[in-house]
């Protein structure tokens, strides 16, 4: 009987064991689900808190409250230590406080994670530019120009190139700035303000041909912008295209009578057109009168220059030549001897060049004659 009972107990035990295991498994799964749920709730709360502090920091960064922004971004990072956006914004806030060494440490780590990130490269370029580390600045600026950007990539890349150009102009490195400007101009989208800005920058690198081209494109789209008309007039003036310069500058002064620089350039351009005896479609009588007026103006300029301490041998020689030739400079002599026009103007141009070197930049008629001399160099 005892043996039979033992057998029944064993059978009962083995029948109960799968049930117990199943119960334990259910409990284990329930516990795991509970822990996972709690974990998800915890992480969601952490993420929410981090996002809340990040939002505050973003607003303060936008308002340039950098101290508060730094504190808020650091708090956000307590809840999401490896968050890329939090670290990037913290670096920007640190830059706002001029704590560039701390910012650089964050940025270089972010760059190693995402070397193609446009904003990270741009911030690194700015730090290098502040340190006048030209090689690193160029590297990061070019990375930013060709990097990945959120939103409108073309606008971000163009703005990065514009920053690079401003940096190159500040060094200064005009040749490199000019090369970047040519690349910039090739990718403009037809906005008149963008072409106008490119024109302004081309003026700064003294590339007047490209400046005039950009201003012309801008004026096709927005014809009456006084600043663009003035820029186009300046570029045409520097290129020696005085009829074109006159038209642009007249329009600029008409649109903005207070533009003193355009007014001065217009007056000079008009004097150049008035005092150039070699321009086409003028009569022989008019040409001879211009030569007589130019010859007299050059003689007066030479006399005033020699009255100072600049009695150099070259000026004395010019004065002798002028005195000897002055007897021939009359309407009758010029009419009888047309070759005298070129001889007289060669002396006028020599006087204006030499007195410019000895006595400084002239004004009025003498400036016009100096520009006419430049215009006909080699002819």
Residues 323 and 265 in one domain: no
Q: Which two tokens stand for residue 52?
A: 């809340």
* Residue-wise DSSP of 148-194: B-SS-HHHHHHHHHHHHHHHHHHTT-HHHHHHHHHHHHTT--S-HHH
Phi, psi values for residue 326, rounded to 5°: -60, -25
Mean pLDDT computed over every residue of the chain: 89
What is the pLDDT at residue 79?
87
Residue 28 has pLDDT above 60, yes or no: no
pLDDT attached to residue 148: 85
Q: Is the pLDDT assigned to residue 33 strictly greater than 60?
A: no
Place of tokens 């107990």: 9
pLDDT at 26: 60
250 and 333 together in one domain = no
- pLDDT higher for 17 or 274? 274
Q: Is residue 253 part of a domain?
A: yes
DSSP secondary structure of 9-73 = HHHHHHHHHHHHHHHHHHHHHHHHHHHHHHHHHHHHHHHHHHHHHHHHHHHHHHTT-HHHHHHHH
Which of the listed residues 258, 275, 292 is the one where a domain comes to its end?
275
For residue 81, what pLDDT is reported? 84
Q: How many domains does the chain have?
A: 2
pTM of the model: 0.79
Q: What does the pLDDT read at residue 115?
A: 94
Q: Please tell me whether the peptide bond between 172 and the residue prior to it is cis, using omega within 30 degrees of 0.
A: yes
Q: Do 198 and 271 share a domain, yes or no?
A: yes
Q: What is the pLDDT of residue 280?
A: 86
Choose the weakest-confidence range: 289-293, 294-298, 312-316, 324-328.
Answer: 312-316
Sequence-distant (≥ 6) Cβ neighbours of residue 308 within 8 angstroms: 359
| DSSP state at residue 327 | T
Task: Average the pLDDT over 145-152 and give the result.
Answer: 86
Looking at mean pLDDT, say which of 20-29, 41-50, 79-88, 99-108 comes out highest: 99-108
| Same domain? 199 vs 234 | yes
pLDDT band for position 1 (cuts 50, 70, 90): very low
Is 184 a domain residue?
Answer: no
Q: Do 288 and 363 reside in the same domain of the chain?
A: yes
- The mean pLDDT of 239-251, rounded to a whole number, is 97
Asked whether residue 73 is domain-assigned, the answer is no
Q: Is there a single domain that holds both residue 330 and residue 266?
A: no
- With bands split at pLDDT 50, 70 and 90, how would you rate the model's confidence at 151? confident
- Check which CATH number belongs to the domain holding 263 and give it: 1.25.40.10
Statement to judge: residues 248 and 290 lie in one domain: no
Taking the C-alpha atoms of 157, 162, 164 and 168 in order, what is their torsion angle to the nearest 10 degrees?
160
Domain identity same for 309 and 270: no
pLDDT score, position 153? 85
Residue 207 domain boundaries:
191-275
Q: What number is the average pLDDT over the span 37-42?
A: 58
Per the model's pLDDT, the better-predicted residue between 2 and 272 turns out to be 272
User: Are 262 and 303 contained in the same domain?
Assistant: no
Both 294 and 368 in one domain: the answer is yes
Q: What is the pLDDT of residues 158-217, one digit of tens each?
A: 999 999 999 999 999 999 999 999 999 998 988 999 999 999 999 999 999 999 999 999
Closest CA to 72 of 87, 88, 92, 56: 56
Q: Which of 32-46, 234-248, 357-371 has the lowest mean pLDDT?
A: 32-46
d(CA 126, CA 167): 9
Question: Which residue from 265, 261, 260, 264 is spatially nearest to 236, judged by alpha carbons?
Answer: 265
Residue 290 sits in the same domain as residue 371: yes
Domain assignment present for 163: no
Is residue 242, in this structure, part of any structural domain at all? yes
Asked which of 275, 296, 323 is the last residue of a domain, the reply is 275
Instruction: Answer with the one of 223, 256, 275 that is the final residue of a domain.
Output: 275
Q: What is the model's pLDDT at position 293?
A: 97
The DSSP string of 222-247 is: STT-HHHHHHHHHHHHHTT-HHHHHH
Q: pLDDT at residue 49 above 90? A: no
CA distance 94 to 72: 12
Q: What percent of the chain clears pLDDT 90, i.e. is strictly above it? A: 72
Mind listing the pLDDT tens digit for each residue in 299-322? 999 999 998 765 567 799 999 999
Burial class (CB in 10 A: 0-12, 13-18, 19+), 343: middle
Q: Quick check: 11 pLDDT over 60?
A: no
Q: Are 324 and 301 in contact (CB under 8 A)?
A: no
The residues that bridge with 148 in the sheet, in sequence order, are 117
Q: Please report whether residue 17 resides in a domain.
A: no
Pair 296, 240 in one domain: no
pLDDT at 105 over 50: yes
The answer to the question of residue 309 being in a domain is yes
Which residue from 187, 194, 137 is spatially nearest to 163, judged by alpha carbons? Answer: 137
Structure tokens at 100: 């560039």
Q: Give the model's pLDDT for residue 25.
A: 66
- Tell whether 313 is covered by a domain: yes
């Amino acid at each position: 009987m005892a043996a039979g009972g033992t057998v029944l107990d064993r059978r009962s035990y083995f029948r109960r064991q799968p049930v117990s295991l199943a119960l334990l498994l259910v409990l284990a799964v329930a516990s795991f689900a509970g822990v996972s749920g709690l974990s998800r709730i915890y992480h969601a709360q952490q993420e929410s808190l981090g996002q809340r502090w990040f939002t505050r920091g973003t607003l303060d960064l936008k308002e340039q409250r950098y101290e508060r922004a730094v504190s808020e971004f650091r708090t956000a990072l307590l809840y999401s230590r490896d968050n890329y956006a939090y670290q990037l914004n913290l670096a920007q806030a640190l830059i706002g406080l001029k704590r560039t060494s701390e910012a650089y440490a964050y940025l270089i780590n972010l760059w190693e994670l995402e070397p193609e990130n446009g904003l990270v490269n741009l911030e690194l370029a700015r730090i290098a530019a502040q340190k006048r580390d030209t090689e690193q600045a160029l590297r990061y600026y070019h990375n930013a120009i060709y990097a990945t950007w959120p939103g409108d990539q073309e606008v971000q890349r163009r703005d990065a190139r514009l920053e690079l150009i401003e940096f190159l102009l500040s060094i200064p490195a005009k040749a490199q700035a000019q090369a970047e400007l040519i690349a910039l101009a090739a990718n403009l989208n037809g906005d008149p303000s963008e072409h106008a800005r490119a024109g302004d920058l081309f003026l700064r690198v003294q590339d007047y041909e490209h400046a005039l081209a950009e201003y012309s494109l801008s004026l096709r789209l927005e014809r009456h912008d006084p600043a663009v008309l003035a820029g186009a007039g300046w570029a045409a003036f520097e290129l020696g295209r005085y009829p074109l310069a006159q038209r642009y500058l007249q329009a600029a002064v008409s649109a903005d009578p207070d533009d003193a620089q355009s007014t001065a350039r217009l007056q000079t351009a008009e004097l150049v057109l008035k005092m150039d005896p070699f321009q086409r479609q003028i009569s022989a009588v008019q040409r001879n009168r211009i030569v007589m007026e130019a010859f007299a103006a050059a003689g007066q300029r030479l006399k005033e220059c020699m009255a100072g301490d600049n009695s150099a041998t070259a000026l004395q020689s010019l004065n002798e030549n002028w005195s000897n030739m002055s007897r021939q400079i009359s309407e009758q002599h010029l009419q009888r001897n047309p070759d005298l026009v070129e001889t007289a103007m060669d002396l006028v141009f020599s006087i204006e060049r030499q007195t410019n070197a000895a006595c400084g930049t002239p004004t009025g008629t003498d400036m016009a004659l100096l520009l006419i001399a430049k215009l006909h160099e080699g002819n």
